[in-house]
Amino acid sequence: MKTGKEYEDSLRKLNLNVYLFGKKVANVVDDPIIRPSMNAVKMTYEMAAMPEYEDLMTATSHITGKKINRFTHIHQSTSDLVKKTKMERLLGAQTGCCFQRCVGMDAMNALSITTFNIDKKYGTEYNKRFLKYLEFVQAEDLVCDGAMTDPKGDRALAPSQQKDPDMFLHVVEERADGIVVTGAKAHQTGAVNSHEIIVMPTISMREEDKDYAISFALPSDAKGITYIYGRQSCDTRKLEKGMLDRGNQLFGGHEALVVFEKVFVPWERVFMYKEYDFAGELVENFASYHRQSYACKVGVGDVLIGATQVAADYNGANKASHVKDKIIEMNHLNETLFCGSLACAEEGSKQPSGTYLVNVLLANVCKQNVTRFPYEIARLAQDIAGGLMVTMPSEDDLNSPEIGHYVKKYFQGRADVSTENRMKILRLIENITLGTAAVGYLTESMHGAGSPQAQRIMIARQVNMAEKMKTAKKLCGIKE
């Protein structure tokens, strides 16, 4: 397994074509805007080397029998699924942000199931290709970006009906040695910090859309791939000399638009090619795994709840009954999210490929709660923190020879707590609920792994309503 330092060094060797603020980024690793997100991924390597976290952060490869980072593992039991949930909460709490490796892990597990099922029906060799690729990923301990979301264009139209065919990534040429693809993947979490990109279709498809029913993997610096880095609220604070106004001083997340302009993919890296009847299965398997993965928000919630309690203490309001009750409510909501992720893991089942899949119904219930509860937790945090969270002056004002003494005097809370420390904790709350981390904690909670309506559709499909109706009729004596 890689160390954190080896991971950082491996990124320096990539020749990524990244644009930020309209200019090409010369050094992705050390760019002050991007660096905090790289630090968060780096923690997935560093913690895997710590003995106290070994059980959660590492696993045994079912291919080689070697010790590997859990983010490259294919789940072999419900115990693996439970450890995944606990690992994600742990890392969310350690970084206070999105640590970006879940989507690749979930993509690989979904492909391990669907490639097996395609081969069974059509006699193809996708699963064999995938397992060879997986062994490479495990041996090199790579970060994989799971790329599912297409720009989609006009949502009322299928991929093949779009005025611009590139609104969904598709095959533009078939060659003896591989395929050529064009299109884009949007909202790609951690893409710039990844070694590989694993592409999947984004929706269920019909025969007329078969050119869009493709899945493959490529090095992240493959020729023809361009990254356009997404803006975040308060992102330019990372360019400032001081650290206080960042809130989270070390870590962060990022998203990017990934453009594929006539990119060549060799056949050995293709895992689905026009098997449109399996596109929906791959999407649903991936989505189910990724909806479980929102245990990471529980970890970030742990940080936010802790910060809120500190802010209440610094404000001198920690003993107020309504503050105590609000913090109890925050904990209740956060632990409920954890219950959902654990439940779908515990109720997982073995698939024909041997891979364990989460309980699909409970995974969607888990994610439906994630679209709601973090917003209420954030509201309560802002309620307790107070308006100073968004009206206080900058770190430069605090340290100013001319006016710094006013800032220290008038923004003092408890007499035994420095104004600087009070400002630091309020900036952390701001960061998680309004700043750069709010992308990962709030907006991602809403739209990541599918919008709220996507989960409601799956809940309707998975619930056995006929059995519920039958039981009700039996108990009240209805005979039909």
One domain for residues 366 and 241: no
Mean pLDDT computed over 96-112:
97
Counting runs of H as helices and runs of E as strands, what totals does the chain give? 19, 14
One domain for residues 183 and 330: no
Mean pLDDT computed over 463-479:
97
One domain for residues 267 and 388: no
Residue 200 in domain? yes
One domain for residues 274 and 336: no
One domain for residues 155 and 263: yes
One domain for residues 116 and 254: yes
Q: Give the domain extent around 204.
A: 4-79+95-278
CATH number at residue 418: 1.20.140.10
255 tagged catalytic? yes
Question: Model confidence at 174, in pLDDT bands (50, 70, 90)?
Answer: very high
Q: Which of the following is catalytic: 255, 275, 395, 430?
A: 255
The token pair that represents 235 in the structure block: 């992102």
CA torsion, points 46, 47, 52, 56, in degrees to nearest 10?
Answer: -140
273 tagged catalytic? no
One domain for residues 369 and 263: no
Q: List, for residues 209-223, the tens digit of each pLDDT value.
A: 999 999 999 999 999
Q: List, for residues 282-309, the tens digit of each pLDDT value.
A: 999 999 999 999 999 999 999 999 999 9
124 tagged catalytic? no
Q: What's this model's pTM, rounded to 2 decimal places?
A: 0.96
Residue 422 in domain? yes
**Type of residue at 201:** P
Among the candidates 245, 278, 311, a domain finishes at 278
One domain for residues 299 and 258: no
One domain for residues 19 and 158: yes
Q: Which of the following is catalytic: 97, 98, 144, 344?
A: 98
344 tagged catalytic? no
294 tagged catalytic? yes
Q: List, for residues 245-257, the tens digit of each pLDDT value.
A: 999 999 999 999 9
| Run of H or E residues at 229 | strand 225-229
Q: What is the DSSP letter of 394?
A: -
pLDDT averaged over every residue in the chain? 97
Q: Which of the following is catalytic: 45, 114, 290, 308?
A: 290
Residue 285 in domain? no
Q: Which of the following is catalytic: 45, 229, 294, 314?
A: 294
366 tagged catalytic? no
One domain for residues 345 and 264: no
98 tagged catalytic? yes
Residue 87 in domain? no
234 tagged catalytic? no
The token pair that represents 203 in the structure block: 């929706």
One domain for residues 105 and 191: yes
Q: Which of the following is catalytic: 58, 85, 114, 189?
A: 189
Q: Which of the following is catalytic: 296, 356, 430, 433?
A: 296
